[in-house]
């Protein structure tokens, strides 16, 4: 088996597709889990640009790759290339996990469950809470959906260039859950307007991700005690946003928590093992 890094004729291949992928900790996590469980699987990173996504998915079929994690920027764009979606991924409109059963590719979303598990494991119940979400990409779709489903009150902020993404997501959630979800431009003035009343702040953007570790999406002066700040960026483990939130007396949740939970859910889909 692969526990001593020996690749055999029966080794199953899994991996991650995204751009960039240099920062990813997924290979370390999944390969350690495969070794621990004595499974003949290996997990590798594939840097796939937007223009190469279709060829990458063809390659998954052609090479019989068992499973792929999908990260920035492909979580939404990959959907039309798959054969089917599980019900949650379909509702969310984003996929972060693909499973290949003899050429039948199924898209799933483990971001949603992974995010919720990370909160609940810290005894943070989002029901009824006012939550500010930064970003409107694939991860935000999953997180917004699971929070709205849980009964949280959401405001979604996104940069002007992709404000239409936030408006589309807010509209989708509002009609799905019959409660108003607002979309605003991600600027200090709007943060100033929504953060004082917020219980939880979630950063789903890549601002502050390695190598740009000195960036933050929120000015430190807007952070406060009593706020829960969840940054889904996991490299670095403690982003500038989380450091400044901690200094302001806020409770912080690192992206590593969500990363591990969503990875465990994907692992189970590919191997059938927990």
Read off the tokens for 80.
């039309």
Nearest Cα to Cα of residue 142 among 57, 67, 232, 229: 232
Q: Which residue has the tokens 């495969």?
A: 34
Order of strands, sheet of 104-108, starting from the edge strand that comes earlier in the sequence:
41-47, 12-18, 67-70, 97-101, 104-108, 84-85
Single out the catalytic residue among 75, 129, 224, 274.
75
Nearest Cα to Cα of residue 140 among 160, 168, 161: 168
Q: Is 75 a catalytic residue?
A: yes
Q: Which residue has the tokens 């601002």?
A: 207
Question: Distances from the Cα of 179 to the Cαs of 49, 152, 171, 172, 271, in angstroms?
Answer: 37, 10, 10, 11, 38
∠183-223-115 over CA atoms, to 5°? 60
**Residues belonging to the active site:** 75
């Amino acid at each position: 088996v692969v526990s001593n890094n020996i690749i055999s004729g029966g080794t199953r291949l899994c991996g991650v597709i995204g751009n960039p992928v240099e920062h990813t900790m997924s290979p370390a996590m999944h390969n350690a889990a495969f070794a621990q469980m004595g499974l003949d699987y290996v997990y590798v990173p594939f840097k796939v640009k937007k223009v190469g996504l279709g060829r990458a998915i063809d390659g998954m079929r052609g090479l019989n790759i068992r499973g792929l994690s999908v990260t920035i920027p492909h979580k939404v764009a990959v959907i039309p290339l798959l054969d089917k979606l599980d019900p949650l991924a379909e509702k969310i409109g984003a996929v972060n996990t693909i499973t290949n059963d003899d050429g039948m590719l199924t898209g799933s979303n483990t971001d949603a469950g992974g995010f919720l598990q990370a909160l609940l494991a810290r005894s943070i119940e989002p029901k009824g809470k006012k939550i500010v979400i930064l970003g409107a990409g694939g991860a935000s779709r999953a997180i917004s959906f699971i929070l709205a489903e849980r009964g949280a009150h959401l405001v979604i902020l996104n940069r002007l260039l992709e404000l239409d993404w936030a408006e589309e997501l807010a509209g989708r959630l509002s009609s799905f859950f019959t409660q108003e979800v607002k979309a605003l431009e991600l600027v200090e003035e709007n943060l100033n307007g929504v953060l004082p009343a917020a219980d939880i702040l979630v950063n789903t953007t890549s601002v502050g991700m390695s190598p740009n570790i000195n960036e933050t999406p929120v000015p430190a002066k807007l952070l406060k005690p009593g706020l829960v700040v969840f940054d889904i960026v996991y490299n670095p483990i403690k982003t500038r946003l989380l450091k400044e939130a901690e200094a302001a007396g806020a409770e912080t949740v690192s992206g590593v928590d969500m990363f591990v939970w969503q990875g465990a859910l994907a692992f189970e889909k590919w191997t059938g093992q927990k």
